[in-house]
Amino acid sequence: MNDVIAPEQGSIGRGIGLVLALHAGAALVCAMIGLAASGDAMNGLVPFLGIGLFQLLYVVPALVIVLRKKQMRTAKGIKIALGITFLLNAACFGVVMVSLSGGNFH
């Protein structure tokens, strides 16, 4: 018999969930730093205005770890969540910039 056990590939949902948990953890850490530094937790959340790029500081190392463990489906989920976060941030940033410049969407 051929009893070869396939390595654990992970899952796309696990990758997306991991990124969401990392975002929540990063927001919590930034809020605590802002609270300690200035007494206002909102000051610590300023990096999240550019989360599309800020997330690279903590999501890319997680991606590298998952790839080293050969969990390709989990890595795919991380990449999907990374892309969605970046695109949502870019779209929201564009809307805010147009609104602040006095332009309209017509």
Taking 3-state DSSP, the helix, strand and coil percentages for the chain, each rounded to the nearest 5, stand at 75, 0, 25
Average pLDDT over residues 7-11: 81
Segment 15-42, tens digit of pLDDT = 999 999 999 999 898 888 888 888 887 8
Segment 34-67, tens digit of pLDDT = 888 888 878 877 777 788 888 999 999 999 999 9
- Whether 46 maps to a domain, the answer reads yes
Among residues 5, 22, 8, 4, the alpha carbon closest in space to that of 73 is found at 8
- Whether 98 maps to a domain, the answer reads no
pTM of the model: 0.81
Model confidence at 4, pLDDT cuts 50, 70, 90, reads: low
Rg (CA), the chain: 18
- Whether 101 maps to a domain, the answer reads no
Whole-angstrom Cα distance, residue 67 to residue 75?
6
- Whether 31 maps to a domain, the answer reads yes
The total of structural domains in the chain comes to: 1
- Whether 38 maps to a domain, the answer reads yes
Owning domain of residue 77: 12-92
Model confidence at 100, pLDDT cuts 50, 70, 90, reads: confident
